[in-house]
Structures are given as structure tokens and as C-alpha cells.
Amino acid sequence: MADNTKSRHLPGDPKEHHIVPYKFHIGIWVGLIILTIMTVLVSVMGISLVAFSVITAMIIASTKAVVVANYFMHLKYENKLITWLMGVTIFLFIVFIAFTAFDYLTR
């Protein structure tokens, strides 16, 4: 109803208009490139890591995902509620996979 939304403050409207300089975004991007290079290096040269190579790759990938979500997808500047949504979703996803995997691994 267009006529009764005057007093609304909806999540769509950014509370504070956050202006991020280009330089900052480029910095983030360079950081992501460096992390990508690290992933490659670890897989090619990190033979000594053996069992840890998967874990290392996962840690690097998760770091990248967090950076992308926070800065490129603006999670850092959004309402807390959206961060909660994201967090709870990831947590439950882990629960679903973990319990199901537990069944398969103990069968």
C-alpha cells in the first residue's frame, strides 16, 4: 500500500549510506588474488603438508568467502539480522551434512 508506508524503515533502505572508496575495493580484490595464488601454491608445492592440504585449502577458501560476503556483498554494512540469517543458515547446513555423514560413516 503506497499510502501507508511513510513511516516505514525497511531493510531495503540503507540506514547509513556507506560510501566505500574504489581503492578499498581494489585492495580487497588484490587480497583475494593473493589468496587464490596461495591455494595454487599449496596444492602444487605443499607436498609436505599431505593430509593437511585439504584443510589448508578449505581454510583459504572460507577466508575468501567471508571477505567476499562482508565487503563485496556488503554484509558488513547491513543490519545485524542479515548476518544472523547467514550465520544460522551456515550452521544448520553443517549440522545437516555432519549428521547425515555420521550415519554413512558408522554404517
The footprint of another protein (CB under 8 A) covers 1, 4-5, 8-11, 81, 85, 88-89, 92, 95-96, 99-100, 102-107
Q: What minimum distance in Å lies between the beta carbon of 97 and another protein?
A: 10
3-state SS class at 12? coil
Closer to another protein by Cβ: residue 62 or 89: 89
Closer to another protein by Cβ: residue 16 or 44: 16
Report CA 41 to chain centroid distance, whole Å.
22
- Of 40, 34, 29, 93, nearest to 67 by C-alpha is 29
- Using an 8 Å Cβ cutoff, are 80 and 91 in contact? no
Q: What minimum distance in Å lies between the beta carbon of 69 and another protein?
A: 17
